[in-house]
Structure 1
């Protein structure tokens, strides 16, 4: 008695007895693979860029090589080094999974994410990620953030400080400054988050829809604090996942004293400000 499933007998015959159908079979499986790869994803990663030509193709390929399916949205602020051209050159390979918005001039990290959030909500993505382009955030940690969101967290933070200090290749002075900044934010705002300035995050769409994005005022790294504080004040569940942060090996950091100053004074402003959910139409 032939134990091979009856419905597949014809395929067994084709595969075993003839080369006639091999080309058709090859194209069939290629087609099925492309459908699976480009299937509509519920997850999108927003990556702001400015002069990231050394990193951008590598980070895009690393994300698309993950077993989990993610889409990517690049927000490029008119990079003179051709970052946007590299992304557009990869779009044919990744079809509808890779998107880019080009802006004219360096308009700030916060506004880049605001643009990305609104685009992702409009296109109905359920899980919306923030991530740097320079591999300081390991793409292999993306499924871990997604898992915690699926388990019930509304905002998942890839945290450098929730399990000690996990930072590689930073000067000790910068480590101390960053860690103390997070302590300062926790004390002033009363928020129970260890890494208040982390830029590696996963939001549920429902949370971003409740935050009044047009009323977010910070433009630099203080934006990261403001978004977490909004989530906290609105009563959403925040979860930190320990990560190892590795400083960029290529390209130039965008951190400056003015960005640090905005974050310092902005925390005091946030303490005095009343947070309200966005009014739905």
Structure 2
């Protein structure tokens, strides 16, 4: 029997150094959160570690294995649909590498469950620049990417590329998930912009983002290009066709 109203979705690819620790950290929280790992065929054995842990957490740790690197966006869409099918009321995006502190999950939950937000964003930039151990070039790229999104779309969100998010169920039920186009980190902007255009209440919750200690970042130049040109495309689609609710 499902004991939690909340599901944390964690996409993984080669996260064997982090996966057990992040799962245990979430399950040690006072509030109960279930976890869905979506592993894209990690050759390092990430999925095998999750399967071992399922013997201890059979009622709240779940795993979907995919055949290869199919993209961050498609991983989350798969997870969103799974969460809706399994009747979760609050659905979270979170990285496996501790760049997002699991202790902040209850704060995002409260922003939606108590404070009335439909979508709560763990924001690195809503109260300055709260990033630890990133190279300055990466900080500047990330910070000005969100400023770029603000200028192009008019969406007044300080951290549009953030990947630490809580959605209320009705947001994911309303968005046409099959019409979300981006697979890389531009997916994060597209989900926020879609929710914004559909009139949902989007709230930023200030967090401290810490660069990963173990494993390798998945960021590359192709992901950056998708973000730059994708934002323009999203704005044009909204201007000339509109972003519509799921039928």
Please indicate the TM-score interval, normalised by the length of the shorter structure: over 0.9
Match of 2:161 in 1: 197
Match of 1:169 in 2: 133
Match of 1:64 in 2: 27
Match of 1:136 in 2: 99
Bigger Rg over Cα: 1
The answer to which structure, 1 or 2, has the higher relative contact order (CA under 8 A, 6+ apart) is: 2
Q: Which has the higher helix share?
A: 1
Distance 2:94 2:25 in 1: 13
Match of 2:188 in 1: 224
Stretches of 4+ moved more than 4 A in 1? none
Distance 2:133 2:65 in 1: 31
TM-score, with normalisation over the residues of structure 1? 0.85
Distance 1:137 1:70 in 2: 15
Match of 2:170 in 1: 206
Match of 1:124 in 2: 87
Residue 213 of structure 2 is aligned to residue 249 of structure 1: yes
Mark the runs of 5 or more structure 2 residues left unpaired by the alignment.
Answer: none
Distance 1:267 1:239 in 2: 20
1:22-79: CA deviations, max 9, x gaps? Answer: xxxxxxxxxxxxxxxx752100000000000000000000000000000000000000
Distance 1:142 1:105 in 2: 28
Residue 149 of structure 2 is aligned to residue 185 of structure 1: yes
Shift of 1:166: 0.1
Shift of 1:95: 1.6
1:149-188: CA deviations, max 9, x gaps? Answer: 0121000000000000000000111111110100000000
Distance 1:174 1:262 in 2: 16
Shift of 1:96: 1.2
Match of 1:91 in 2: 54
TM-score, with normalisation over the residues of structure 2? 0.97
Distance 1:103 1:70 in 2: 23
Residue 227 of structure 2 is aligned to residue 263 of structure 1: yes
Distance 2:156 2:137 in 1: 24
1:272 maps to which of 226, 229, 236: 236
Distance 1:76 1:176 in 2: 30
Match of 1:13 in 2: none
Distance 1:86 1:175 in 2: 32
Match of 2:77 in 1: 114
